[in-house]
Amino acid sequence: MGLATIRGWPHRTPDTGHRTPDEGPVRGAGNGATSHNATRSRERTASRTPVGAAKKQAAPIFGLAPEWLLHDGKPLATATVLSHPEQLARLEAACPEAAATAVLAGDPCYDRLLAALPHRDRFRRALGVAEGQRLIVVNSTWSGGSLFGDGEEGDLLPSLLPRLAAELPADEYRTAAVLHPNIWHGHGPGQVRAWLDRARRAGLVLVPPLEGWRQALIAADCVLGDHGSVTFYAAAIGRPVLLGAFPEGALDPESPVAALGRTAPRLRPYDGLRAQLDRAVEEHDPGRYRALAAQVSSDPGRSAELLRRVFHGILGLPEPADRPASLVPLPLPAYEPAERTAPLRVLTRLLGAGPPEIAVVRRAAPAEEEPEEGDIGWYAHTAVHEDTRDPSRLRIADVILRYGSADDPRVGPPAAWTADVLARHPGCGLAAYVTGPGRCVVRARGGEPLRLSAAPGAYGRPDLCDPGAYASALHAWLAAGKSVSEAAASGMTVTTGTVQHRVSVEAAY
């Protein structure tokens, strides 16, 4: 999928691909990535044509043009590694002097993705994706026309993320953001995190710039992206793709990534986001991007073998006969459950009283929002994390939440914390201390501490739905005049979207 040069590497700063106005436009060469290094560095931008240019000339193709490959008319590299024959054909046309150095060696990044596909469920659990949830991965490359850029089509991401938090029910969707490393480098990690702070407090997972993005793609149900290589890789492994930005003029129209722009559906940014994302998932044809996937690698699964052969050949060394070439498998990311510190507007509805069944819909939306499910019987309350950015919201919270270890000496044990919270916040009806996947300790005003535990799934795997939803369900049950003993007798059924969670209610001590 990418291009790499070996020996005689030209020095490139992190803004590689951006040209000054007097240098003319630059167009993307391939699918959008230099796949033989850790970063995705071949997404391209196009600058304006020089003022006063008498005739519009063909834009040089980034990575394949003479200015990147030649010095004094001779190839810089001993070997120019290409991932697919389509790149070779364009190299021969764009810079025939370097064609003799070309080597087809597949794509190690793609090979690692393919090898890790069987671990999709593990990656989803690592990201805290519960049964029935959809993981939406938002991806931006680093040009002005990208989803996070400042061009005519770009700069959508800052406005999209708050809308995703407001429109997507927290217990039915999980969102993650994958930003190109040069976004992090160019603006600085502190600035990037500050820009996305509101979305992170609403539950967004911000994937580190160099590692973890491949696992997020494998785990995704839909990728909302642009013309970057990560979005292309998502399509290549069969994930539904929705394009939020796509600057056709910045790309070689013959490149595979340009073909993605002609194939994938486009986001309508001013229409409802949830309906568009659901449609992208539900109407996705697994074979839609098969032709594009075929252009990622010349030899899927063999890049390690082919690259080692190239390296040893350049060094004049024989390959080890007793050790097959291999790539490092994608590691299993650390468990990162959802922990929303933004206030949550919670809608509940009692679906049944014997045994208790309560529907819960939670959103990180303004407190002024009214019930909107459309049916009589939905009631609203506010759930607020104790570490909310705006402590004044705790005064109006119906449910106050905390996440942590039960034996944390700073705030625990849960029985002590819940009693303290209710004493300090007289308007709060229930305090909930989430101690782990599928379980929490709660105390209603005037009551004793209770343990809520969701029944495990197949083979004993814990329910990964945020236990805060179970706390809100119990609060709604008690607010309707029902008793703890009724809930404890048979347990509760908490419904989030299309999933039912069986939750036991018992004394905590």
Q: Which residue has the tokens 């990656």?
A: 123
Whether 450 contacts 507, CB under 8 Å: yes
The distance in angstroms from the start CA to the end CA of the chain is: 58
Q: Which residue has the tokens 């019930």?
A: 371
Interhelix angle 229-236/256-263, rounded to 10 degrees, is 70
pTM: 0.88
Segment 320-341, tens digit of pLDDT: 999 999 999 999 999 999 899 9
**Cα(32)–Cα(16) distance, integer angstroms:** 13
DSSP state of 373: S
Task: Pick the closest to residue 466 from 220, 177, 196, 203 (CA basis).
Answer: 203
pLDDT at res. 400: 98
Per-residue confidence (pLDDT) for residue 168, from 0 to 100: 95
The predicted structure's pLDDT at residue 303: 97
Angle between helices 229-236 and 108-116 (to 10 degrees): 50
Cα distances (Å, whole numbers) of residue 323 to 107, 305, 308, 318, 471:
20, 11, 11, 12, 55
Provide the 8-state DSSP code for 14. T
Predicted local confidence at residue 43, as pLDDT: 36
Q: Which parts of the chain register pLDDT below 70?
A: 1-60, 151-155, 365-376
DSSP secondary structure letters along 133-160: -EEEEEEE-SSTTSTTSSSSS---HHHH
DSSP H helices in 327-464: 414-424
Q: How far is it, in rounded angstroms, from Cα 85 to Cα 103?
A: 10
Strands (E), 32-162: 70-71, 74-75, 79-82, 102-104, 134-140
Take residue 171 and report the two structure tokens written for it.
């217990």
Distance CA 484, CA 349 (A): 17
Q: How many residues does the chain have?
A: 509
pLDDT tens readout for residues 152-210: 655 688 889 989 999 999 999 999 999 999 999 999 999 999 999 999 999 999 999 89
Residue type, 427: G
Residue 197 CA to residue 168 CA, distance in Å, equals 18
Strands 344-353 and 356-363: antiparallel
Confidence (pLDDT) at 295: 94
**443 phi, psi to nearest 5 deg:** -140, 125
